[in-house]
């Protein structure tokens, strides 16, 4: 950890990788957490977002291109992305985000070369073992969405289960790692669960359907950040991102840091969310 006093506000910002001035009190005032009764977003009369997103999800894209730009193997890009993961976790925790979801490995990623898949499995296991104590000490509850494929090494499955058990009583931010995850598969599993539980067709609502999804207590995603400039959903938490705001920073994931995460929060707060309504926008105070 490194700290640096910001000259503008004489405050300190703790970052996981490198000292970055986050804009002093002005930025803290812009994205500081705000409480509300429901725990979710707050909207002004014009639909302008007030406060922080409750649930932020990240599609961590660009590791391979980061490595290619440096004439390095793809594995080097994946390894470099670990620092960005810790930066984002720390930044979200300090900002007061309640739920953070990270897309680490998709059901489609099994199509990659065996050597790359093996490396990713080892990298995830190493990251869990390296940072589990920090996550526990921060009061972060860790969960994994997916990880049902028999090809996942048994030792990694044990580490996943042990981290979830270690942190299950934590009451701070909930960190969900989408690993061996596919949004379509989750929806199919929910449909199967409804059928197996003999739920009558006329009792199937959006609420009852969501209750049969994996990790059903997960709130809808408010903000999705996808790095590298690519603009695709990629089968990520399809049900939960239905009304999410999306931000596509061009930076590749290994270069994504806490300051850029906070900038995404600022962009989110500049948006208007109407949820299908036709509210007339009004001029708002500039953020």
Active-site positions?
A: 61, 109
State the residue for tokens 């009792």: 203
User: Using alpha carbons only, what angle is made at residue 215 by residues 103 and 36, rounded to the nearest 5 degrees?
Assistant: 90
Cα–Cα dist 142/138, whole Å:
11
Q: Name the residue with tokens 């960190």.
A: 175
Please give the structure tokens belonging to residue 217: 């207590």
Per-residue exposure over 120-149, b if at least 16 CB sit within 10 Å of its own CB, e if not: bbebbbebbeebbeebbebebbbbbbbbee
% helix / strand / coil in the chain, to the nearest 5?
A: 40, 15, 40
Tell me which residue of 200, 186, 166, 177 sits closest to 237, measured CA to CA: 186
Q: Are 149 and 185 in contact (CB under 8 A)?
A: no
Task: Report the SS3 class of residue 125.
Answer: helix
* DSSP string across 212-245: TSSSTTPPPPSEEEEGGG----TT-STTTTTT-E
- Helix (H) / strand (E) containing 13: strand 12-15
Q: Chain-centre distance of CA 183, in angstroms?
A: 15
CA-closest candidate to residue 63, choices 80, 46, 88, 47: 80
């Amino acid at each position: 950890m490194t700290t640096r006093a910001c000259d503008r506000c004489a405050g300190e910002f703790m970052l996981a990788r490198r000292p970055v001035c986050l804009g002093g009190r002005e930025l803290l005032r812009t994205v500081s957490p705000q409480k509300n009764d429901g725990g979710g977003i707050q909207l002004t009369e014009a639909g302008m977002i007030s406060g922080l997103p409750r649930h932020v999800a990240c599609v961590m894209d660009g590791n391979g291109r980061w490595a290619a730009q440096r004439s390095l193997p793809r594995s080097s890009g994946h390894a470099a992305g670990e620092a960005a993961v810790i930066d984002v976790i720390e930044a979200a925790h300090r900002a007061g985000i309640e739920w953070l979801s990270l897309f680490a490995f998709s059901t489609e990623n099994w199509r990659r070369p065996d050597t790359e898949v093996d490396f990713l499995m080892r990298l995830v296991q190493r990251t869990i073992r390296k940072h589990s104590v920090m996550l526990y000490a921060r009061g972060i509850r860790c969960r994994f969405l997916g990880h049902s494929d028999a090809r996942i090494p048994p030792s990694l499955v044990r580490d996943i289960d042990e981290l979830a058990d270690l942190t299950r009583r934590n009451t701070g931010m909930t960190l969900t790692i989408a690993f061996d995850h596919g949004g379509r598969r989750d929806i199919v599993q929910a449909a199967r669960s409804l059928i197996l539980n003999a739920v009558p067709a006329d009792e199937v609502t959006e609420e009852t359907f969501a209750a049969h999804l994996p990790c059903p207590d997960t709130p809808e995603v408010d903000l999705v950040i996808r790095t590298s400039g690519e603009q695709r959903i990629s089968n990520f938490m399809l049900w939960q991102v239905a009304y999410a705001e999306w931000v596509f920073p061009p930076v590749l994931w290994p270069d994504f840091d806490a300051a850029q995460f906070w900038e995404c929060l600022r962009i989110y707060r500049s948006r208007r969310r109407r949820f299908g309504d036709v509210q007339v926008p009004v001029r708002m105070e500039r953020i």
